[in-house]
Amino acid sequence: MSLTLTCPICGKRNGYEFRYGGEDKGPRPAEDGLTPRSWCDYVHMNKCVAGVQKEWWFHRDGCGSWFTTYRNTVTNLEVEAPEAKE
Amino acid sequence: MFGKYKPLWGNKTRLKSSYDAVIIGGGLHGLATAYFLAKEHGMKNVAVIEKNFIGFGGAGRNTAIVRANQRTQINVPLYKEALDLWPVLTRDLDFNLMFNNCGNLNLMHSEAAMNAARMNIATAQFHGVESHLLDAKQVKEMVPALNISPDITYPIHGAMFHPPGGIVRHDAVVWGLAKGAVKLGAEIHQQTEATAINTENGRITGVETSRGKIHSPRVLVSAGGYSAGIINKMLGIKLPISVLTIQAMVTQPLKPILNHVVSSGAYHAYANQTLKGEIATGAHMDPWPNYTTLTTAYYIKHQAQALSEFLPCLRGVKFMRHWGGLADMTPDMAPIMDGNDPIDGFYMNCGWGYFGFKSCSAAGRHLAAFMATGNCPDILEPFNLRRYEKHQLMGETAALVSYTPDN
Ligand SMILES: Cc1cc2nc3c(=O)[nH]c(=O)nc-3n(C[C@H](O)[C@H](O)[C@H](O)COP(=O)(O)OP(=O)(O)OC[C@H]3O[C@@H](n4cnc5c(N)ncnc54)[C@H](O)[C@@H]3O)c2cc1C
Ligand SMILES: [Zn+2]
C-alpha cells in the first residue's frame, strides 16, 4: 500500500517525496541537568506502536518543511489527529 | 503413507499453569533457546508460546543467507560460532538443514569500498574467518554472468569473498529446532498469544496469554519484529529500535548461472540461485517504519533495475513471487540481548534487523546459558541495552552492506 502525506504547504503528495523524521517525542530536553540517560531516551528510544502514532516528516523533494502528522503503522495510511484523550 | 502425519513438534497439548521458563515467540531465536535450555542445561519445563504458527515471522520469510564476515571484533565471534554450528545441528537434530556452503561474494564498486573491504577482511582473518579480496578479473572468472564493464551505474572494482558462508534452508531450521526442543521435553504452543507480562516487586511472575495465565519466574521475549512494540506495551520499556518492512522475491526457475551468494551494497541487492533454479533476491527495506509486511511496486522496479545491471542475463526474466517481513533495526546494527535488568527474570533478544537467521543458533545457545544460570555469558555482555546510554554503540553500521532507517 503506498503512502501519501499531507505537507502543510504543498498538500497531499507521494510518500517517497518525504523523509521520515522519527516518532514525536515532545520537546527536546533542557540542557540544564541533562543526563546521558535522558538524552539517550530522547535520541534513540522508540515506542514502536503498531497502530496510530504521531511522527515527524521532512518534505525533502518539495518545499523543505518539517511537520508532524499521524499515521497508522499497520495500514501505512495517514489519519486524522485523534481526539485529545482525558 | 498418507494419514499418518504427525507434526514433528507434537500435537496440541494443554497449557500448564506454570513453567520454569516461558519463551514468547516461536521464531528462530525462541526455538533455539528452548532447544539449548533442554539440551545443555537440563531445563525441560519450558513453554514456547507462538501467536500464529512457528516460522510465521522472519523465520519463514528470510532469504536464508548465512555468513560470518561482520564488521566488529565483538560481532564476528558470535556469527562464526553460529556458522560452525550448522553441521553440528544437522547431526544432533537428525534433520537435514540443507547447508549449502557456496560462499558469499560482496561486490565493491569503488576504490574506497575496496579499502573498506581490506579492513573487513583483516578483522575476519584475525578471528580465523576465511575471507579474501578479489579484483574485477578474478570476480568475472568466478561468476561469468557478472557485468564488469565500466559503463554501468556502479562499476565492479572487486569483491570480498567469504567461502564458508552460504545458504541454509530456513524452514528446515524452524522444523528441526522445534523437533529437537520437543523431543527433549519442551512444549510448543501455537495459536497462543502473549497478552501481558506480569511482575511483582521488580521480578517476573508470569505471562498472560490468549489461552490463560501462566506462572513463571523467567520470561524471554524473542518475538522478532514485534518484540520492541510488545516490550513497550507490556512493560513500559522503550528500545532503540525501528520496525520496518523488508521485501524479497524469486524469479522463475533458470539454468544454473550463480554458484555463490552475490551481494552489492551500492545497488542494494543480493542474489543467489536456489536448488530449484530460481534467483532469490532482496535487500530493499521500506524507508519508514511500518508493520504492513506488504510489497511495493517501487521495490519491484528497484530490484529489476539493479539486477539487470550487474547480472544482465536476467533482463526479461519474470519475478514469480514476492513477499515482505519485518526487520527490527537498531542504530548500531547490532542486536540487543539482555536479562535481569531492569526486571529480574526478564530476558530479551531482539533488534536483529536482517541478521537474525544466520545468528540464531549461537545466540539461542548463549541465551539459554544466561536464563539457566542468571549470569550473562561474556560473549553476550557487550550487547546489553545500556550500551546506548553509555555511548558504547557498536560499529556494525560500517559493514559493507549497511542500511538503517537513520541513514
Ligand atoms: C525478507 C527478509 C529477508 C531476510 N533475510 C535474512 C538473511 O538472508 N539472513 C539472515 O540472517 N536474516 C535474514 N532476515 C532476518 C531474520 O529473518 C530475522 O532477524 C529473524 O527471523 C529473527 O528471528 P526471531 O526468532 O527473533 O523472530 P521471528 O522469526 O520473527 O519470530 C518471532 C515470532 O514471534 C511471534 N509473536 C509475535 N508477537 C507475539 C505474541 N504477543 N505472543 C506470541 N508470539 C508472538 C511471531 O508470530 C513470530 O512467529 C530476513 C528477514 C526478512 C523479513
Ligand atoms: Zn511541502
Residues facing B200 on adjacent strands: B203
What the block records as the C-alpha cell of A9 is 504547504
Task: Give the tens place of pLDDT for each residue, B222-267.
Answer: 999 999 999 999 999 999 999 999 999 999 999 999 999 999 999 9
Atom 51, ligand 1: residue with shortest CA distance = B62
Task: Give the tens place of pLDDT for each residue, B110-127.
Answer: 999 999 999 999 999 999
| A19–B contact, CB cutoff 8 A | yes
- Up-side HSE of residue B152: CA atoms within 13 Å toward CB? 20
Kind of pairing, strands B187-189 and B46-49? Answer: parallel
Average pLDDT over residues A45-54: 97
Q: What confidence category does residue B284 fall into, taking pLDDT thresholds of 50, 70 and 90?
A: confident
Interface mutation vs chain A, best among B193, B233, B298, B389, most A CBs within 10 Å: B389
Torsion from C-alpha of B111, B115, B117, B119, nearest 10 degrees: 180
**Is B370 in contact with B376 (CB distance < 8 Å)?**
yes
Q: Could you give the residue range(s) of every CATH 3.50.50.60 domain in chain B?
A: 21-62+171-241+332-387
Task: Give the tens place of pLDDT for each residue, B137-159.
Answer: 999 999 999 999 999 999 999 99
Angle between helices B76-92 and B170-183 (to 10 degrees): 70
Q: Looking at chain A, which residue has its C-alpha nearest residue B228?
A: A48
The count of residues in chain B is: 407
- Residue in the block written with cell 519508514: B288
Percentage of the residues of chain B whose pLDDT score is greater than 90: 93
| A48–B contact, CB cutoff 8 A | yes
pLDDT at residue B2, as a whole number = 60
Give the list of residues 6+ apart from residue B246 with CB closer than 8 angstroms, or none. Answer: B282, B283, B284, B285, B286, B324, B325, B326, B327, B354
pTM value is 0.97
Residues in B touching A50 (Cβ below 8 Å): 226, 229, 291
Query: Quick check: B239 and A45 CB within 8 A?
Result: yes
Domain ranges of chain A: 4-79
Query: Quick check: A75 and B229 CB within 8 A?
Result: no
Ligand 1 centroid to Cα of residue B59, in Å, is 5
Alpha-helical regions (H) of chain A: 36-44
What the block records as the C-alpha cell of B94 is 537428525
* CATH number belonging to domain B104-163+242-329: 3.30.9.10
Interface mutation vs chain B, best among A40, A43, A46, most B CBs within 10 Å: A46
**Is A18 in contact with A57 (CB distance < 8 Å)?**
yes
Residue A57's alpha-carbon distances to B105, B147, B238, B286, in angstroms, are 37, 38, 21, 15
Share of chain A residues as helix, strand and coil, in percent rounded to the nearest 5: 15, 35, 50
Q: Please determine, for residue B407, whether its predicted confidence score (pLDDT) is greater than 70.
A: no
Classify B204 as helix, strand or coil: strand
Phi, psi of B133 (to 5 degrees): -100, 135
Alpha-helical regions (H) of B184-249: 227-235
Query: Rounded distance, CA A15 to CA A57, Å?
Result: 10
Query: Is 3.30.2270.10 the CATH number for A4-79?
Result: yes
Query: Rounded distance, CA B280 to CA B139, Å?
Result: 20
pLDDT at residue B3, as a whole number = 66
Q: What confidence category does residue B398 fall into, taking pLDDT thresholds of 50, 70 and 90?
A: confident
Query: Which helix (H) or strand (E) is B36 found in, with range?
Result: helix B28-41
Query: Rounded distance, CA B344 to CA B338, Å?
Result: 11
Classify A60 as helix, strand or coil: coil
CATH class of B21-62+171-241+332-387: alpha beta
pLDDT at residue B4, as a whole number = 72
Q: What confidence category does residue A86 fall into, taking pLDDT thresholds of 50, 70 and 90?
A: very low
